[in-house]
Amino acid sequence: MGKKYIYFFGNGKGEGSAEMRALLGGKGANLAEMSNLGLPVPSGFTISTEVCKFYYENNQKYPHRLSAELDKNLARLEKTLGAGLGDTTHPLLVSVRSGAAASMPGMMDTVLNLGLNEETLLALINKTGNERFAWDAYRRFICMFGDVVMGIHRDKFEHEVERAKKKARIKNDTDLTVKHLQDLVKKFKDICKKDTGEDFVDDPRAQLQKAINAVFSSWNNPRAIKYRELYNIQGLLGTAVNVQVMVFGNMGNHSATGVCFTRNPSTGENALYGEFLINAQGEDVVAGIRTPEPIRNLRKGMPHLYEEILRYKDILERHYRDMQDIEFTIQEDKLYMLQTRNGKRTAEASLRIATDLVKEGLIDKKMAVMRIDPQQLDQLLHPIFDPKAKKVVIATGLPASPGAATGKVVFSAEEAEELAARKEKVILVRKETSPEDVAGMHAAQGILTSRGGMTSHAAVVARGMGRCCVVGAGDVDVDYKAQRFSVNSKVIKRGDYISLDGTVGEVMRGQVSTIEPKLSSDFATLMNWADEFRKLEIRTNADTPQDAAKARMFGAQGIGLCRTEHMFFGEHRIDFVRQMILLAPEVKGLKVRIEALEDELRKAPKEKRPELKGEIAKLKKSLECPNTLYEKALHKLLPMQRSDFEKIFRTMKGLPVTIRLLDPPLHEFLPHEEQSQRGMAKKMGMTLKDVKLAVARLQELNPMLGHRGCRLGITYQDIYDMQVRAVIEAACNVKKKGIEIHPEIMIPLVCTAAEFGLLKDSINKLARTIMKKKGTRVKYAVGTMIELPRAALMADKIAEQAEFFSFGTNDLTQMTFGFSRDDVANFLPDYIEKGILEKDPFQSLDQNGVGQLIEIGVKKGRTTRPDLKIGICGEHGGDPESIEFCHRIGMNYVSCSPYRVPIARLTAARANIHGGEISSTV
């Protein structure tokens, strides 16, 4: 028997199961599973994802046996239903839907009511006795088939519907009469002929094959590709195709269609949540064409069916052990289940659902930790609108996705992407969104729609993305042509600022101030569980006591990177920093010249010594003024740095604090615009010309490879000495107050063991002197950043003296690829689009190249010093995939920005669980 490509489901039995997602896609696997559970699932069959893979690998051709297998399963479906595709007495109508292993809502294509033509239409009228329903189904089919299969933009069909309603002076599609629908069918067919030059396809079997082709082709449509890119969906075979007998929610007032969640997807409350429409098809709910009713209203009109939905809700939640997103149709008082899948939810809801399911005994703590997407936590950690702020509410809608967003109004997804790429914050305003808008929705701070409900496309996608969203704001009249929207007499134009509150559904004029969010007890519970399971320590990158306090609140176990240069940019400091920088080369030059002459003097004959002494005296006289100013600048900066470190030590008491000595090139501290240079010249008593010359002297052709990092400390040892003195004095002062401290001094940009050794000796000598004077001993460590490929390769030699390594992955990525981080935007998007690189290596660690260097550095470093403490402190420290890599190669910690600390804690736990090193806690 050959390979099986098609799997049947229905009548209480499915040939597949939920475990076959990779082969049947999520929809097909769950249809089979619901069939096996005995739920009322309309019969059908699933064409596997292997066929999609074959289709793309073989120039859009199918496996040889597929046609016969399709005929066999179609015949089985016809026999099961007692109807036939194209039969003029008992016509079989089917839906053709996509379904990949990973949920991609709305990204691929669907065709409903397939099998209708003029003959089967008459048979459907005779069978149902409902002429209006049959014509409505036919016009919907032509519209969907024309759009999905024939490539005609849906707006052309919708335009005719709107014209018909306007002419008849009616508001809703349900008010269209049989005559209206007949006229629309004729106009729809005319559109198909005009746009394609071909008549609409009447043969039902040909309709089916073309629809299957279209669904497979939709796997690689632009919006599906973009969605997979946004959500990092990789490694799938393709989409499956589900062919399923149609059930109709548009057969009258005893029919309905709806979408519901077994728990509230915004808050996580354990209560049925969703919407339905009487006398409608499923596309009406999702597309937001009509504003649906809340699911609780079904209890009034169809109480027995509402109770049946509640029963299936409990069955599905207990079976899948997760919140479910359910689609259903009621056809003439009979309930059918069309889909179930794990429901998309906000971060707040994810935490509550996970912790509640543990309390209910459905999952254990380990599974709860694995259920939370670390990136989703970002939604909880950022500011919300200040309740005391002045707000001018101009409209209200449904609170589809919580959060606060402020930005400039744009009316197209393309403009949202364009402005967001320029770092501008935007709000995307649409009548309703469609899958084509997904990239713009991702780029926007928030989404506002005038139509749609809580399960519309905009609502579902925004919740999944963590974007603030308000939908169904009916008073908002969007005018795309004029690029504005109006609410009563108020007009908001493109580029105007508005603010959205997705938690309560408010639309506000202008920008509204925000406050920090309060985290729920569910957040704390989940984080505590994560801490039980992880091995990696999580530190933070913090340069101020405020950042340190925020990170500690989020659970940071120390500071992995305190950048001393960031402290130099304070309003009252930068002048002293600039004075120090401008004078350092001059002082250094004079000192070097004096040392050379003094050395020459020792060896010089007697007669030449007076001349040398005179020259030395002149140079020393010349040195007096700049040296005094130089030392004054250092003297002024010392207490400032010391105070900074004391505050940070107090904030992080009992936890390690890694302080990186000055790293960037000195020219970064100097002004480059003439106006600023004039101000600097005036403050320092210099001429503008002298300032310009000094700035030019410090400029380098390639500053990232130039005079920076430890090279500064070797050239200008006074600067590093000042910083070391500030660290050690601060540590002594804080220790005297009974506060436990663990300072770690980090030397940046080391590439040789000799560099490190020279600077470490200087640090230790100075530290001993200070501690002796203070009468206090402080235990400290001296380590280095590994951010150059040579340092990784020579890690065993460097580790002979270094007490810890911290991989600076930003620079290591830059040096390994030969990419300038500041200029990479000019070409990197092309590299990713063309498949040269999968991801931006500055956002997610290149594990094959840069990662290989890191592994070499870890292994070689620990061959010399087995207890060597190792971490990373670049931006990758907050990226989940990079954190997993750090766990896998045995690092001790990762360090990230304060707001990424919870994400790192959760990711570290998931990495350990995924490695199979933790047993179940239930």
- Give every CB contact of residue 864 below 8 A, 6+ residues apart in sequence: 795, 796, 797, 799, 800
Task: Return the structure tokens found at 567.
Answer: 């402290």
In the sheet where 484-487 sits, what is the strand order?
476-479, 484-487, 490-493
Compute the half-sphere exposure of residue 841: CA atoms within 13 Å on the CB side of its CA: 25
Q: What is the number of alpha carbons within 13 Å of residue 16 lying toward its C-beta?
A: 29
Contacting residues for 180 by C-beta, under 8 A, at least 6 apart? 164, 168
Contacts of 258 (CB under 8 A, 6+ apart): 274, 275, 276, 277, 285, 292, 295, 298, 327, 328, 329, 330
Helix 901-914 to helix 521-533 angle (10° resolution) is 40
| Cα–Cα distance measured from residue 832 to residue 844, given in angstroms and rounded to the nearest whole number | 13
Residues whose CB falls within 8 Å of the CB of residue 364, separated by 6 or more in sequence, listed in order: 358, 920, 921, 922
Is residue 624 within 8 Å of residue 564, measured between CB atoms?
A: no
Which string of DSSP letters, residue by residue, matches 768-781? Answer: HHHHHHHT-----E
Report which DSSP code applies to 232.
T
Q: Cα 676–679–683 angle (5° rounding)?
A: 140
* Helix boundaries (H) for 775-893: 789-793, 795-798, 809-817, 828-833, 850-864, 880-888
Euclidean distance between CA atoms 98 and 236, whole angstroms: 14
Whole-number Å distance between alpha carbons of 532 and 541: 23
Rounded Cα distance, 162 and 195, in Å? 20
Task: Give the catalytic positions in this structure.
Answer: 457, 873
The answer to whether 745 and 729 have CB atoms below 8 angstroms apart is: no
| Element spanning 394, H or E | strand 393-396
Gap between the Cα atoms of 744 and 577, Å rounded: 24
Q: Give, as one character, the DSSP assignment of residue 18.
A: G
Q: How far apart are the first and last CA of the chain?
A: 43
Print burial letters for 175-199: b (CB count within 10 Å at least 16), e (below 16).
Answer: ebeeebbebbbebbeebbeeeeeee
Nearest CA among 447, 416, 445 for reference residue 430: 447
Handedness of CA 868, 872, 878, 882 (dihedral sign): negative
| Closest to 350 (Cα-Cα) out of 393, 329, 389, 379 | 379
